[in-house]
Structure 1
């Protein structure tokens, strides 16, 4: 491993922190009225994302001292942090599911799998499958994709994460809420669009895949959480807030969320206007 400057490592840590704060804030905003607020829960995503951002800076070619590097690192970190937390919440964490309309632990046809060994086995299979997808995308970067148009490559690679998200969401939500065609196709379509953005800043297929997921999740959760703040999320549908005081207190965290988005959008503009090397 080539030694990198301390400034670059610090930037990787800070970019990861920004991704984690963004994720933690929309999560707190939607959940606190129903679950209450604890700093232990709030800082979980920032800590995980900071470590991911630092690791990506140390062990990959991403350089967060450049605008393109900031954008790609933020998006890739976001995608990985969300994946890690979803694995933890679905397959490892044990908590009372009665407070949810839609179970958050791994469930089959809306029924929680109570057996911890079976959940861990399912989680291992899920992680193994996700790892296989990443490896396949990495291998696809070689000869198999050389004859394809870059936009077609982005369609295949960028939208792949959206399809995974769509099927995962349908598996969890459809038994309770029913199947919604628009919701199902929304993630793949957005992932393709964001894949084009990320592909204009990097040639790495894995980064395009993960970055498209990161931007897609960040955008959809922003829309659902802050454009419809009074609409209970699916997992709390039909349940009254147990901590109604947080319907107002949660607003204190909104400036953090806005500042992160402003920083990311500024980096996107600078990256697109400045020197860059991408697939497109």
Structure 2
């Protein structure tokens, strides 16, 4: 008997979800139906794919071999369906996007209404996480990452870049004065990141180099928290232009030490696991958001 695509989908779902019951919930089936499908697949193949106990499920060697090929087959089937959709110019399906909260808030959400009008057949699921996630584990189609990429197992597409600037509120500067040279920062209240030390290397040229390491008096793990603190006049901060351009335009924040800025721009990438033809819904979103991000390049 030949293996059917539904059986492959069930097998992959069981592995990705970690249990038959979780896979059943995701697929809208009963656990007994999922279990029967998995057993039927193993019967057709004449081998055990998953060792099942009351506490855990482990892939056999044959299961690991079959899983990689099952994923490839399902991706190829998705690609064929997307190509048919491309001919009709009607991208459809659920698109799961993950990004850090500040990027989601300032660079994606303002454009969602326009995107949905343009592509009404795409169902969006927007998730935020300030840490790097496992795309498969989180069932994510595409993640937006800011900064240099380190994970070579992912396929990446550049979406542009965003300048990093040193900023403060007019109120703070009125109370404490405006620094004229980089060394003046030592006498100011500085706002920095608590989790990523590399973000506390501000893009400022000085006598010893073109990066100024700061010792912040007030730290936070989120760039959005630091933005709010800067707006409240709590100190000087270094943030990317994509999340502060409206504040600068409205005069809520002003650029500090602009003549000393080294011109660093944070890379912005979309990362995903597909190495074959991108699903049309992903391609449409990346093309759309890349055009919008051009306004943040300043």
Fold equivalence (TM over 0.5): no
CA radius of gyration, larger in: 2
State TM-score, norm by structure 1.
0.23
Give the structure with the larger strand fraction.
2
State TM-score, norm by structure 2.
0.22
Comparing both chains, which one has the higher relative contact order based on Cα–Cα distances under 8 Å and sequence gaps of 6 or more?
1
